[in-house]
Structure 1
Amino acid sequence: MMQLRQYLLPLVALLVFGQRGDRDPLWAQLVPVIVIVLLVVASVLQYLSYRYRIGEDAITIRSGLLSRNRREIPFARIHNVVVHQNPLHRLFGVAELRLESAGGNRPEAEMRVLRLDQALALEQRVRRRGPLLQPGAVNDAPGQPPPLPESEARHVLLRMSGRDIVKLGLLSNRGWVLVAAALGALAQVVPRGSLDRAIEQGGREVFGYANGLQAGMTGLLLAAAALLLVGWLALRALSVMLALLRYHGFELSEQQRRLTVSSGLLSRVRSSVALRRIQAWTLSESTLQRWAGYRQLRVDSAASQGSEGNEQRGLRELAPLATPGHCDELVCHLLPDVQWPPLQWQDVPLRGSWRLCLTSLWLTPLLAAALAWRWGPAGLAALAWLPIALWTARLQLARIGWYRDDCYIAVRGGWWRRWWRWAELDKLQALRLSRSPLDRLLGTSSLWLDTAGARGDVALCLRYLPQAQAADLLEELGRALAKRRLRW
């Protein structure tokens, strides 16, 4: 199946465009069929040669037809368990199981065709480090995980309704993904000259129709505004559609200090990770989300540092969309030793805020000079951007802050799109103090804090600290980390 999926597009192209008529010999016409048959045979042989055995502390996997491989995967090494069902999987009642660890760009094991009850039972085996269902045991609810003792019951922490998912789509810009993909596919399929002529012809027809209406400047502006509104509504509709496909039935649950997220409309994905494997936490809110009163909560786990293809590994989103109060409740429940939100943030000095708009400071005068050379003194109006850039830079620097106690360290930032990021001190892997030429000029430094699997949108970094304060904080964190390592 994987070979067929990998070569599906080339095979379709070969079948569609490779035939040139009856002039080709018979063997040439049969080449696509022969290739497909060989791939099917190879896939079946690979599937038949794949074996796994569940031990007390590890999973043993044997694979390979000519070259035999054997892998021992200790349960303690498995950080993330993913149960994936595409529409074909759901039709036949099977699933694909992936066992992921902290290292490498590929999962430790991929069991592509398992019965759903077997996949869920194996997921619980990894979770509980206990025995699997015995052969012949009866599960009263096919397709569901085996029953657990009441003390190990699953607790639902967040469940998104259809209304919440629609809100998520309306407050996001995911529609641009489909637009960019469609434009890319169009550029690859349609010849360049034909595409340029079609765009030019369409523009002429639109402008010709607008001129024929004789609506004047006001009418043209209203028409342009209407087109923009229609485009914006179409993007919102695409964003809602993508959100429904990805987050339908979203549920976050906790069981034995292990988090599980399941979601998906066509392809159903169930991913779980131990709470102790989470390395860093990120709260963020866009401007639209802030106006609507929502945020999103994401985490970095050790298993998310690698990727396979374009697929993000590891559990990432705990709350794609929730109120600030609900996000804070989730953090306080999952991290009972952490005081969140912090009682008081430490601000950074506002001196030198101009560094955040350095590009505007040198590019705006050049642009104004070019415009003045072309259109006269009216072009100098571009210089009005300078005070706006300085003002926004000062607002952005005023939002930067940090907090540290005996349990964790946190940073915040962003003005247009706000974010908060923190990590427990036990999860810090390395500390780094850096100074750029501007830092030397202004007497500041940046303290970088590295964690395993750091894949967040923002870095865990304390920026623009006074040099002496940054050096003292580096020594304090170094001593705190050394003491905690000794206690381990």
Structure 2
Amino acid sequence: MNKRRDNFIEFIYHTYSTVKNLFLPLLALAVSLIGEKNHYTPYVKLGFYILIGFIITFSFLKWYNKTYEIDQASIRITQGVFAKRFKDVPINRVKSITASDSLLKRVFNISNISLELIGGDEIRFVLSNKDVANIRRDIFKSIKIETPNKRANQFGFKEYFLMSFTNIGAFLGACSLSFTFLSFALHQYLKFIGEDTDDRSGIESINSLSTLIEDPSIVSMLVLIAVSMVLAVAIIAYILMYPLLFFTYSNFHLGSNDKSIHVEYGILNKKSYHIPKQQIRSLRIIEPMVLRWFGYAQIKVDNIGFRENRTAAIMVCPIIRKDKVDSLLESHLQQFQSQPLCYRPIKSSIINYMLCRTFKLKYILTVIILSFLSFYALYLTVLIPVFLFLGFLKWKYSALNFNSDYLTIRYVNGLSTVTLITHKKYVETTTTEQTFLMKGKQSSHYKVALYSERLEEVYGIRHLPDRMGGLFLKYVR
């Protein structure tokens, strides 16, 4: 194949995204601080235009200098602006293909394609859909993707409502839109009543607020107004969450054959994942608290080479009833099976779980130091019941089991319960720890390290009974 470049749309899209996401907010902040009629404003705008010119030039050179060749044996890539880098990747190092697009790219019939390599690296191209299909065929020519008659699964209002409590990214996006709407409405209201303050700079506004805070009689009113604003933003954000989640997860489709699984979802920003089953290291059944109350869960899979800085725990199903998880595994992920979790922390360890998390030295020192700066820092002690509750959840749901095929560990991450099922061949080491006090209670801490591209990926359960410690230590032999 001859040398090629990404589609020219990628240059335009990258330039637009960089300006929108970075420099427009900086310009808005600068203008808000110095005021719209300040004599420094023209210089700020001039600097902004120079930066935009630099971004356009840099983006063009970055697009133009990135070339690649793909053949049956390897992928050769050249890229760089100030210093050129050359990379030659054998085809057999590619472990999965991810394709995604947006509404704009769909109009031009192009897609993003990411080739994930064994070891955790990633190669990304922007190609026409025809080229994407050819690359899929050439690299994974031995894997046939089956398309069932039922093209997609549509979630109902209840599922989208429950997902709104678990998708932090969508909630932050909705909060941003909500805050923008409230700011515009407040600005228009102030103009209507003749109280518009456009001539006041941001620094003057901050100084006025500082003066108000010095008056103790006004602090409670300011707190009430702030709480009301937060509630208003949250309410509007949750109203906006439904269309955001609908555009994100609509047209969800999960397909599989003997060698691979295929996941596809989205309308405006369509995503597609193609994963060979032999590259799947472990399965995660995630139960955020709200979903657990209603009997739902999420399912993700980890590829070999799963890294902490990737979103690589790929979403196989964003929401599913717990009683249907086994059916999904039988249909698409036959290499995994759920098993009962037999080993749990001893009952007497509940106090340790609750107090150890709550009264950590770093938390105590933080409150003490902040209290010297402001008396209001002592209000942080109201969080003690929250930490006690999180410790209780950790004790209640932590569990472990293992057999000749899988090691299953359940742990708590915030308010979510995660059940991690890993093939035995990906377990690197098992460890037990026991203090002098734990010896009398016949309990130990159990830890397991998994094969990963992280420096270490270790999971542990504290205060489990000693009776299976010997078998646990011999598990990887």
TM-score (norm 1): 0.66
Alpha-carbon distance, 1:207 to partner: 8.1
Aligned length: 408
Contact 2:175–2:233 under 8 Å retained in 1: no
Letter in 2 for 1:451: L
Cα RMSD over matched residues? 4.8
Q: How does 1:19-168 map to 2 (within 5 A)?
A: 33=49, 35-64=51-80, 67-103=83-119, 107-111=121-125, 113-128=126-141, 152-155=145-148, 159-161=153-155, 163=157, 165-168=159-162
Partner of 1:369: none
Distance change >3 Å, CA 40–CA 393, structure 1 → 2:
closer
Identity %: 16
Contact 1:80–1:314 under 8 Å retained in 2: no
Alpha-carbon distance, 1:195 to partner: 5.8
Alpha-carbon distance, 1:427 to partner: 1.7
Q: Secondary structure at the match of 1:79?
A: strand
Partner of 1:291: 293
1:416-448 deviation line (CA, Å, top 9, x unaligned)? 754422111012233333346764564422222
Q: How does 1:438-449 map to 2 (within 5 A)?
A: 439=438, 442-449=441-448
Alpha-carbon distance, 1:237 to partner: 2.1
1:88-127 deviation line (CA, Å, top 9, x unaligned)? 32232222222222445xx53221x311221233234333
Q: Does 1:5 align with 2:17?
A: yes
- 2:172 aligned to which of 166, 172, 177: 177
Letter in 1 for 2:128: R
Moved more, 269-278 or 5-14: 5-14
Q: How does 1:441-460 map to 2 (within 5 A)?
A: 442-453=441-452, 460=459
Distance change >3 Å, CA 96–CA 413, structure 1 → 2:
closer
1:192-217 deviation line (CA, Å, top 9, x unaligned)? 44566899989759989xxxxxxxxx
Larger radius of gyration: 1
Contact 1:301–1:452 under 8 Å retained in 2: no
Q: Secondary structure at the match of 2:422?
A: strand
User: Within 2, Cα distance between the matches of 1:360 and 1:330?
Assistant: 36
1:378-423 deviation line (CA, Å, top 9, x unaligned)? xxxx9xx99x969x97786454432222110112356975442211
User: Within 2, Cα distance between the matches of 1:361 and 1:46?
Assistant: 49
Alpha-carbon distance, 1:244 to partner: 2.2
User: Within 2, Cα distance between the matches of 1:122 and 1:439?
Assistant: 57
Distance change >3 Å, CA 306–CA 53, structure 1 → 2:
farther
Alpha-carbon distance, 1:232 to partner: 6.7
Partner of 1:356: 353
Q: How does 1:166-245 map to 2 (within 5 A)?
A: 166-172=160-166, 174=168, 177-178=172-173, 192-193=206-207, 204=221, 233-245=235-247
User: Within 1, Cα distance between the matches of 2:69 and 2:358?
Assistant: 64
Partner of 2:195: none
Distance change >3 Å, CA 445–CA 206, structure 1 → 2:
closer
Alpha-carbon distance, 1:77 to partner: 1.9
Letter in 2 for 1:466: P
List runs of 5+ in structure 1 lacking aligned partners. Answer: 131-147, 209-223, 367-381, 480-488
User: Within 2, Cα distance between the matches of 1:207 and 1:19?
Assistant: 28
Partner of 1:478: 476
User: Within 1, Cα distance between the matches of 2:313 and 2:264?
Assistant: 10
TM-score (norm 2): 0.68
